[in-house]
C-alpha cells in the first residue's frame, strides 16, 4: 500500500489528468465533457505523493448507486489503491442515499472482477455485446450496502 495517498472530490482542474489516465486504461475512453458533467460529490480522484493516479465516478438514482467509471494508472495498480478508491466511492454513494451499488465490467477483466468480488460484489446479470473495441459482454455486479 502506498503510504502517502489521498482520495478527494474531483475538481475541474483534475479533468485533464483524468483524461490521460482514461486514455491509457480504456480502449474507448470517455470524452472530457462527460467527466466535467459529473463533477460533484461522487467523482473522486486518488493522489499518491500529490500526483493524480486514479479516479472513480458514480451516481445515485433513488436508492441505487452506480459505479460508472473507475481507473488507476497502470503503474499504481495491484497495490491496494483500487480497493481503497472503490470503497471510498461506495461509502460516498451510500452517504448520498444508495442502498445498493451496481457496476458493469468486461467479462475478460479478471483482475477487476476479482477485486469487485473480494469487496462483496456479486454477479447479477450480463449485457450482451455491451463493450466495443473489442466487442465483449459486460457482467453486471451488485453490492448490497448494510444499513
- Spans of the chain below 50 pLDDT: none
**Annotated catalytic residue, options 5, 104, 107, 136:** 104
Domain 5-144 grouped into CATH 3.40.630.30: yes
Confirm whether 116 is a catalytic residue: yes
For the chain, which residues make up each domain, given as ranges? Answer: 5-144
Q: Helical H runs in the chain?
A: 15-25, 32-37, 81-95, 110-118
User: Which pLDDT does position 40 carry in this prediction?
Assistant: 94
pTM for the structure as a whole: 0.91
pLDDT 10s digits, 19-42 = 999 999 988 899 999 999 999 999
Give the per-residue pLDDT at 27.
Answer: 86
Catalytic pick from 99, 116, 123, 131?
116
How far is 136 from 24, CA to CA, in rounded Å?
A: 19
Amino acid at each position: 500500500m502506498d503510504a502517502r495517498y489521498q482520495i478527494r472530490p474531483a475538481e475541474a482542474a483534475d479533468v485533464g489528468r483524468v483524461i490521460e489516465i482514461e486514455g491509457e486504461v480504456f480502449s474507448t475512453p470517455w470524452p472530457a465533457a462527460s467527466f466535467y458533467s459529473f463533477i460533484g460529490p461522487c467523482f473522486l480522484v486518488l493522489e499518491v505523493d500529490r500526483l493524480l493516479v486514479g479516479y472513480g465516478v458514480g451516481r445515485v438514482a433513488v436508492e441505487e448507486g452506480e459505479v460508472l467509471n473507475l481507473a488507476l494508472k497502470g503503474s499504481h495498480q495491484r497495490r491496494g489503491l483500487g480497493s481503497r478508491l472503490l470503497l471510498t466511492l461506495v461509502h460516498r454513494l451510500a452517504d448520498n442515499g444508495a442502498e445498493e451499488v451496481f457496476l458493469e465490467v468486461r467479462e475478460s477483466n479478471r483482475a477487476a472482477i476479482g477485486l469487485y468480488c473480494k469487496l462483496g460484489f456479486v454477479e447479477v446479470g450480463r449485457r450482451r455485446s455491451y463493450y466495443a473495441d473489442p466487442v465483449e459482454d459486460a457482467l453486471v455486479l451488485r453490492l448490497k450496502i448494510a444499513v
